[in-house]
Amino acid sequence: MNIEKDKILQELNRAIVRGEIETARCLAERTVKSGFLPLATIQKSCLPAIEEVGRLWEVGDYFLPELIAGAEAMKAAMSVLQVALKDSGQTLESSGKVVIGTVEGDIHDIGKNLVASMLRATGFEVIDLGADVKLEKFIEIALREKAEVIALSALLTTTMLNQKRFVGLLVNQNLRQEFKVIVGGAPVSERWAREIGADGYGESAVQAVELVREILKKK
Amino acid sequence: MIKKRTPKVEFLSQQAVEAIVGEAFELLQKIGIFVENDEALKLLAEADQSIDRSKNRAFISRELVENSLSTCRSGVRLYDFNGEKEYLIGKDEIHFNPGSAAVKILDSENLREREPQTQDLVRFYKLTETLENIDFQSTAMVSSDVPQEVADIYRLYLGLLFCQKPFVTGIFRVESLKPMLDLLVAVRGDEKRLAEKPLAIFDACPSPPLKWSRLTAQSLIDCSRLGVPSELISMGLTGATSPVTLAGTLVQHTAENLSGVVICQMARPGSPVIFGGSPASFDMRKGTTPMGAVETMMIDCACSQIGKYLNLPTHAYMGLSDSKLVDAQAGLETAMGAVLAGLAGINVVSGPGMLDFESTQSLEKLVIDNDICGQILRMVRGVELHEQPLALDLFREIGKDFNFLTLAHTRKWYRHEHYFSSVLDREVYDTWLACGRKDAFNRARDEIEKRLRKYRLSELSSETLAEIKSIMRSYARSCGLEKLPEITE
């Protein structure tokens, strides 16, 4: 029985690492039907899988299509397991709540979507406001949802100025201490993040996950 | 006369071109395009096209596309500021112009990117005026010392103050369209004369996949009505905003361009339109859009081949680099792209001077690129067969010492047959040492100063000048800007 169980968990892990979305969903369903505890499945099989996807990205074996597929497969498995988790009365502690979006004036969302998927896949609750998002809206939603982190994306050098404006807006409204602000996007850099008084910058979606973990640890 | 061969490169077979165009027709008919502009949707509805209003989606019939193509011109003409010099955009004519709308400039002194200001743009314009192989100006940098609201028109305004060469430009905001067109009308005197002798091309970029925003569609419509050429800049990114295969991206690119052609021809049949684009190979590791990637260049060349098949003038963003410095990568990517653009016979080639994914301009690079462009313009003339016999007679004339240097034939042809570079190093080693061991970048830096000293401002009529200034000022005021930056000569 245990050997059989281990095999399924291993297969689920492999499906996520390989980005096989349908297989991951089916295997997650099988674990539930076979009566595995969903929390254990997530901890033993799914989370290590998405970590492995991140590692493969970091070492340069994985490219964006594999990274996205990995996050999607994770999402497919988790959508099944989270329902089961609720039914079983167990809870998976959320790693944190992040409000994310591309700042106003900017319609580019490829990078932002990727960061959102990776954060979701690694256990964060993500509220994705989309692209061309008014700065006030980030604050409004973050307050309402009691988010801990606000993530601002910008692809254009003209719109990245809105990241700076946003930090100013928080300061003006006396809310700067309420949220951690992180920034990303092609023209954005570590230096820019420091310059505008943001809490951090991630160069890639994988690093964004690391960053959020780090700054929430410090909190 | 023996016929000469024009060197040429083609990436697609005739069958491949037909297959791509065929799928593009189907794409427009079955999937349709998204048009966020009421006027454009109205034009399409009037042409009996099926429209899903809830999604701003228009399904365009093959018949309408073919009708639109039949009213297009195969060549577009552009004229300089004085309306004297004519440039044909069509056939296999090649016109280079600087890559446009850079938000950064590579600082000549500290070699770091920084935001350009009015003075940088003025220097850039003056320098470009002196570059023999760059036919058109482009509104090449976004000046950071004016607010975003006036950034697009301000570039063109400054350009008209300093330049004779025609412009490639475009809008960032729909509000700027009218005053920018007003500037052009002011130069020519009235709308009719502007239509007869267009001074600028307006770039309009559909958002991939298959979408014309309110801004870009309006640009197409208003420019077409005035007879100002529109340049269609589709920019699919392989595997991100368009299919990952080059052929797949070509289908989308063709469909987007064709829909632009339709909007222009609906606005005014016969309006000038250029089949163009800035597609790119999307880097699956970095998430960037390398303009210097060979796949990007292959897509560009193939697009142009499709444009030529459709009997339209063509454009591409080539002859630029993703490097952050004017280094070996900058040279190799620029030259590779520009050579291919030349061999593909692309009519408008935008790119010289550009670095860092279309974001940074460098004056030094522009000067070096001028030499690249010059050699390509030479190359595409091919091996010419001026007289016959080709050489035999020379050997009869020549003295015992076989000295070709003294021949009249040499004096007659040497300038025509050979390109003379301004910054490439062709010194012997010792002379190069004596000249300060300078690399291309540093030679280019010297060359810039030399050329800027040569620049002469052409006199504008005082009425034209007053009108241009008044259009700019009143628009700036409408955006809350009372004073424009000082221009020091």
Region B11-17 average pLDDT: 98
A108 and A72, same structural domain? no
The pLDDT score that the predictor gives to residue B10 is 98
Of A3 and B264, the structure prediction assigns the larger pLDDT to: B264
H or E stretch at B473: helix B462-478
Q: Is the pTM higher than 0.80?
A: yes
Contact of A156 with chain B, judged by CB distance below 8 Å, is answered with yes
A78 and A33, same structural domain? yes
Show which of A88, A118, A133 is a domain's final residue: A88
Question: Which sign does the torsion angle of CA B80, B85, B89, B93 carry?
Answer: negative
**In chain A, which residue's Cα lies nearest the Cα of B142?**
A158
Chain B residues inside the 8 Å CB shell of A67: none
Interface contact flag, B284 A156, Cβ < 8 Å:
no
Region B247-259 average pLDDT: 98
Q: Are the CB atoms for A65 and A52 separated by under 8 Å?
A: no
B386 torsion bin: left (phi>0), alpha (psi -120 to 50), beta (else): alpha
B480 torsion bin: left (phi>0), alpha (psi -120 to 50), beta (else): left
What pLDDT digit, counting tens, does each position of B120-139 carry?
A: 999 999 999 999 999 999 99
Interface contact flag, B104 A60, Cβ < 8 Å:
no
The pLDDT score that the predictor gives to residue B400 is 66
The pLDDT score that the predictor gives to residue A155 is 85
**In chain B, which residue's Cα lies nearest the Cα of A66?**
B284
- Shortest distance between the Cα of B285 and any Cα of chain A, in A, equals 5
Cα(B474)–Cα(B480) distance, rounded to whole angstroms? Answer: 10
Chain A residues inside the 8 Å CB shell of B284: 63-65
Cα(B318)–Cα(B292) distance, rounded to whole angstroms? Answer: 8
Kindly provide the ipTM of the predicted complex, given to two decimals.
0.74
Which residues lie across from B158 on neighbouring strands? none
Please choose, from the candidates B324, B305, B275, the residue with its C-alpha nearest in 3D space to the C-alpha of residue B110. Answer: B324
The pLDDT score that the predictor gives to residue B459 is 83
Secondary structure in 3-state letters for B215-274: HHHHHHHHHHHHCCCEEEEECCEECCCECCCHHHHHHHHHHHHHHHHHHHHHHCCCCCEE
The pLDDT score that the predictor gives to residue A218 is 73
Contact of A165 with chain B, judged by CB distance below 8 Å, is answered with no
Contact of B480 with chain A, judged by CB distance below 8 Å, is answered with no
Q: Using DSSP, state whether B86 is helix, strand or coil.
A: strand
The pLDDT score that the predictor gives to residue A90 is 82
Cα(B129)–Cα(B123) distance, rounded to whole angstroms? Answer: 10
A186 torsion bin: left (phi>0), alpha (psi -120 to 50), beta (else): alpha
Question: CA of B208: how far to CAs of A156, B60, B243, in Å?
Answer: 17, 17, 11
The pLDDT score that the predictor gives to residue B297 is 98
The pLDDT score that the predictor gives to residue A186 is 82
Please tell me which of the candidates B104, B207, B287 has its beta carbon nearest to residue A64.
Answer: B287
Cα(A144)–Cα(A137) distance, rounded to whole angstroms? Answer: 10
Q: Strand B33-35 relative to strand A200-201: parallel, antiparallel, unpaired?
A: unpaired
Cα(B247)–Cα(B254) distance, rounded to whole angstroms? Answer: 10
Interface contact flag, B284 A65, Cβ < 8 Å:
yes
The pLDDT score that the predictor gives to residue B489 is 66
Interface contact flag, B288 A186, Cβ < 8 Å:
yes
The pLDDT score that the predictor gives to residue B299 is 98
- Shortest distance between the Cα of A175 and any Cα of chain B, in A, equals 28
A210 and A135, same structural domain? yes
Cα(B7)–Cα(B339) distance, rounded to whole angstroms? Answer: 11
Please tell me which of the candidates B104, B240, B359 has its beta carbon nearest to residue A110.
Answer: B240
A80 and A105, same structural domain? no
| Total residues belonging to chain A | 219
Interface contact flag, B285 A65, Cβ < 8 Å:
no
Q: Are the CB atoms for B390 and B154 separated by under 8 Å?
A: no
Contact of A114 with chain B, judged by CB distance below 8 Å, is answered with yes
What's A24's domain CATH number?
A: 1.10.1240.10
Q: State the first-to-last Cα distance of chain B, in angstroms, to the nearest integer.
A: 52
Say which range, B76-85, B190-199, B280-289, has the weakest mean pLDDT.
B280-289
- The percent of residues in chain B predicted with pLDDT above 90, rounded, is 91
The pLDDT score that the predictor gives to residue A110 is 84
Region B86-95 average pLDDT: 97
Chain A residues inside the 8 Å CB shell of B142: 158
Q: Are the CB atoms for B150 and B479 separated by under 8 Å?
A: yes
Region B225-243 average pLDDT: 96
Q: What backbone torsions phi and psi does residue B365 show, to the nearest 5 degrees?
A: -65, -40
What pLDDT digit, counting tens, does each position of A98-155 carry?
A: 999 999 988 888 889 989 988 988 889 999 999 999 999 999 999 999 999 999 999 8
- Give the helix, strand, coil percentages of chain A, each rounded to 5: 60, 10, 30
Say which range, A201-215, B16-30, B105-119, B263-277, has the weakest mean pLDDT.
A201-215
pLDDT above 60 (res B103): yes
Chain B residues inside the 8 Å CB shell of A187: 359
Chain B residues inside the 8 Å CB shell of A110: 240-241, 287
H or E stretch at A115: helix A110-121
Of B467 and B458, the structure prediction assigns the larger pLDDT to: B467
Question: CA of B54: how far to CAs of B36, B58, B73, B336, in Å?
Answer: 11, 11, 34, 46
Cα(B334)–Cα(B376) distance, rounded to whole angstroms? Answer: 12
Question: Which sign does the torsion angle of CA B269, B275, B277, B281 carry?
Answer: positive
Cα(B439)–Cα(A167) distance, rounded to whole angstroms? Answer: 44
**In chain B, which residue's Cα lies nearest the Cα of A186?**
B288
pLDDT above 60 (res A1): no
The number of folded domains in chain A is 2
The pLDDT score that the predictor gives to residue B375 is 98
Q: Are the CB atoms for B337 and B318 separated by under 8 Å?
A: yes
Contact of B284 with chain A, judged by CB distance below 8 Å, is answered with yes
Interface contact flag, A107 B284, Cβ < 8 Å:
no
- Largest Cα–Cα distance in chain A? 61
Cα(A77)–Cα(B485) distance, rounded to whole angstroms? Answer: 58
The pLDDT score that the predictor gives to residue B205 is 94
Which parts of B268-362 fold into alpha helices (H)?
Answer: 294-309, 328-344
**Yes or no: domain B1-385+421-489 corresponds to CATH 3.40.50.970:** no
Contact of A197 with chain B, judged by CB distance below 8 Å, is answered with no
What pLDDT digit, counting tens, does each position of B383-441 carry?
A: 999 989 999 988 887 766 778 888 889 999 999 999 999 999 999 999 999 999 999 99
What residues 148-187 of chain B have any CB closer than 8 A to a CB of chain A? 148
Q: Domain ranges in chain B?
A: 1-385+421-489
For chain B, give the mean pLDDT: 95
A176 and A111, same structural domain? yes
Say which range, A14-23, B376-385, B459-468, has the weakest mean pLDDT.
B459-468
Hey, what are B376's tokens? 């390509």
Residue indicated by tokens 């690694």: A122
A150 and A52, same structural domain? no
Chain A residues inside the 8 Å CB shell of B288: 186
* Burial category of A99 from C-beta neighbours within 10 Å (exposed 0-12, middle 13-18, buried 19 and up): buried
- The percent of residues in chain A predicted with pLDDT above 90, rounded, is 73
The pLDDT score that the predictor gives to residue A11 is 97
The pLDDT score that the predictor gives to residue B301 is 98
Please choose, from the candidates A40, A33, A36, A47, the residue with its C-alpha nearest in 3D space to the C-alpha of residue A5. Answer: A36
Structural domain of A61: 2-88
The pLDDT score that the predictor gives to residue B399 is 67
> From the CB of residue B390, how many other CB atoms can be counted at a distance below 10 Å?
10
Show which of A36, A64, A88 is a domain's final residue: A88
**In chain A, which residue's Cα lies nearest the Cα of B356?**
A187
> From the CB of residue B161, how many other CB atoms can be counted at a distance below 10 Å?
16
Interface contact flag, B285 A60, Cβ < 8 Å:
yes
A117 and A72, same structural domain? no
Contact of B147 with chain A, judged by CB distance below 8 Å, is answered with no
Show which of A41, A57, A88 is a domain's final residue: A88
Cα(B373)–Cα(B98) distance, rounded to whole angstroms? Answer: 11
Q: Are the CB atoms for B95 and B89 separated by under 8 Å?
A: yes
Cα(B399)–Cα(B377) distance, rounded to whole angstroms? Answer: 35
Please tell me which of the candidates A158, A186, A204 has its beta carbon nearest to residue B148.
Answer: A158
A194 and A112, same structural domain? yes
The pLDDT score that the predictor gives to residue A219 is 63
Which residues lie across from B33 on neighbouring strands? B58
**In chain A, which residue's Cα lies nearest the Cα of B284?**
A64
